[in-house]
Structure 1
């Protein structure tokens, strides 16, 4: 019994596609362009999270102790400092990655 003509055409098409894939270089990923934007959003989220956590802890302690503005202000500033410190650590990571990438391109 012979093969179905559609199956033979499909197999021939798959072979042609596989041969073309072997000859072409892989296309650059589309999300590589947005990697810096992703890092910027990550930094913003880290800062806002630090502020929000500081606000929550400060407000909770103020309600608990009945000293409304004292701990709120203190922990908002501590949250801001923690957020900035985390942002700086992320910026250092980005800089190290950029340095590694540029060192790799210089060798080529």
Structure 2
């Protein structure tokens, strides 16, 4: 700060603020170039929908196993065949859970279900038969 007491600073105030403004603008431009193009906005609604579908699939699988296990346990308690029916129904519950997950996943993807052409043909035939009557 040598010589600061000799100058008031009022004369160079506008020039200093103008040079600072120019330097800030150039710095801002350089920062924008360094950051690169801005990212596209995140689709939060689509992300939430996908997460909901994933939870739905996992709950269907777990529910199938849990219901099968509970039915097997209850039948084991009723008939006195301790582990046999529970194991059988756990396997059946797991199989039904997997089938539900596959069915739901195909529906979510918009793929036709197995036998879909038969159901739609039967529906068309029923409508055609009703029209004839």
Which residue of structure 2 lines up, in the alignment, with residue 60 of structure 1? 74
What is the RMSD computed on CA atoms of the aligned residues?
A: 1.8
1-side partners of 2:81 and 2:47: how far apart? 49
The alpha-carbon deviation at position 33 of structure 1 amounts to 2.1
- Give the number of the structure whose alpha-carbon radius of gyration is greater: 2
Which residue of structure 1 lines up, in the alignment, with residue 24 of structure 2? none
Which residue of structure 1 lines up, in the alignment, with residue 57 of structure 2? 43
Runs (5+) with no aligned partner, structure 2: 1-42, 112-133
Residue 95, structure 1, aligned to residue 109, structure 2: yes
Q: TM-score, normalised by structure 2?
A: 0.49
Relative contact order (alpha carbons < 8 A, sep ≥ 6): 1 or 2 greater? 1
Q: TM-score, normalised by structure 1?
A: 0.60
The structure richer in helix per residue is 1
The alpha-carbon deviation at position 30 of structure 1 amounts to 3.9
Give the 5 Å matches for 1:79-94.
Answer: 79-94=93-108
